[in-house]
Amino acid sequence: MEQRTEDWFQARLGKVTASRVADVIAKTKTGYSASRENYMAQLVVERLTNTQAESFTNAAMQWGTDQEPFARAAYELKMGVMVDETGLVDHPTIPMAGALTDGPVRDTTRMRSLGFKVFGVQTSPLDINSRYEVVEHNVPAVIDGVLINPGDLIVGDIDGVVVVPKDAIAEVVHRVEEKNSGENLFRKAVRDGMPPSEAFAKYGVL
């Protein structure tokens, strides 16, 4: 499934996507934020009407979309890898479920067909029989030099994985909410006619 095709947009209808997780977890001092309620209402409407909600875009955002193939090619050349584009991947029974490992993974095609999200360092044809052993679970672990503790928030998509320590989740969510508010102001300013460069200078976000 190619991204930004009709099938791709149809697959996303009524579903929480990685770029909107900030809205899902956004809170204020009195409870969940208005952005969460608005996003929830949008998803309900999409599910009921089977119609994609309108989204904002401008020339700068379109430029970024148009440049993605070139950026991907540059990354492939620099890293010596081939990037395999994917559409939206859902777990067959559990929403937003997946796995994060510091080792290789196999059966990639099968996992994708099941909609199971897995983030690893590489792929391998070898199975785990006589090679891996489960010795502990629900304990602190280190992946690529990053400490992960039980209860930490992990957000991952095709661009990578971010680990938010449990004690910092509230602060991170607050900062995400502030940034999201600034981005909304930026978009409104551009929509109202302000040049993107001027809007960026004023609000400091894109």
145 and 77 fall within a common domain: no
> How many structural domains are present in the chain?
4
Query: Splitting the chain (206 residues) into consecutive groups of 10 residues, what average pLDDT does each group show?
Result: 75 75 80 80 74 78 85 86 72 59 76 72 74 74 85 81 86 83 87 89 82
Contact of 52 with 13, CB cutoff 8 Å:
yes
pLDDT computed for residue 54 by the predictor: 75
Dump strand ranges (E) for the chain: 27-28, 31-32, 98-100, 104-105, 117-119, 122-123, 141-143, 146-148, 153-157, 160-164
pLDDT computed for residue 181 by the predictor: 84
Angle between helices 169-191 and 196-203 (to 10 degrees): 150
**Distance between CA atoms of 187 and 205, rounded to whole angstroms?**
10
Both structure tokens of 130? 């006589």
Q: What is the pTM of this model?
A: 0.42
95 and 159 fall within a common domain: yes
69 and 43 fall within a common domain: no
Grouping H, G, I as helix, E, B as strand and the rest as coil, residue 79 is helix
Residue 178 CA neighbour count, 13 Å, CB half = 8
129 and 92 fall within a common domain: yes
Residues spanned by the domain of 35:
1-55
CA distances (Å), origin 67, targets 44, 60, 74, 81, 138? 33, 11, 11, 19, 41
152 and 96 fall within a common domain: yes
94 and 152 fall within a common domain: yes
155 and 177 fall within a common domain: no
98 and 72 fall within a common domain: no
107 and 152 fall within a common domain: yes
pLDDT computed for residue 103 by the predictor: 73
pLDDT computed for residue 87 by the predictor: 67
96 and 121 fall within a common domain: yes
